[in-house]
Structure 1
């Protein structure tokens, strides 16, 4: 199913910030968009505006794990956020193991680390689901 989706929005989940990127399977590249510094319903309203603007066919969320692959509190919160996205927007939601994407974005000198991490998450999704 993921092979048929062309345009996607990706999210680097954080409790205080949410990085957002967009990308196309056609190009295989992702573009950082912005970070959302809102919580609760305001966060979902901002996401709704992005979905309306970009018209993605699916959503990708980065799910963090400990280096040994074990889950932790943010893993569970990110998965819950993914379920909320699916329920609210009725789009397919895919999870990507996003260990170290923020560190990689920072090492690349990104000005907005969260949206750059979301772009890395989406590019990883494209590699894992050609």
Structure 2
């Protein structure tokens, strides 16, 4: 098993999830509030990647329902390249269609609402992205 970090790049927050090397289960890890300086955000993310000893970083790619890529996907591709430049591990992109919807549904089923949901939705979405990537590898 590969120790992996999943990333959900948002405009306000970056959701981070981890999958320990001894399991194929993604776990919500952290929510990084955007600082306004992308380089600073990327360094903070690099610190998390190093902290968990990740061997790969999986970034969610927001594609349209029909699979095409629009402006949001282009922006994520650009930022993923910037992140890759500060990491010593590979950065891969993974289709994130439906991840926020899935994360919202899971939190609703657990009774997490309002402000509590906003605090965790990004890292839960990152876990959904990472779990989807892990499942696709099997």
Q: Is this a same-fold pair by TM over 0.5?
A: yes
The count of residues paired between Structure 1 and Structure 2 equals 126
Residue 17 (structure 2) aligns with: 21
Residue 127 (structure 2) aligns with: 119
Unaligned runs of at least 5 residues, structure 2: none
Q: Deviations over 1:38-73 (max 9, x none)?
A: 231221121122022111011000001111112111
Find out whether 1:11 has 2:7 as its counterpart: yes
User: Structure 1 residue runs of 4+, over 6 Å off?
Assistant: none
Residue 129 (structure 1) aligns with: 137
The equivalent position to 2:59 in structure 1, one of 37, 61, 66, is 61
1:74-93 → structure 2 map (5 Å cutoff): 74-93=72-91
Unaligned runs of at least 5 residues, structure 1: none
TM-score, scaled to structure 2: 0.84
TM-score, scaled to structure 1: 0.89
What is the aligned-residue RMSD (CA, Å)?
Answer: 1.5
Find out whether 1:37 has 2:33 as its counterpart: yes
In 2, Cα distance between equivalents of 1:129 and 1:24? 15
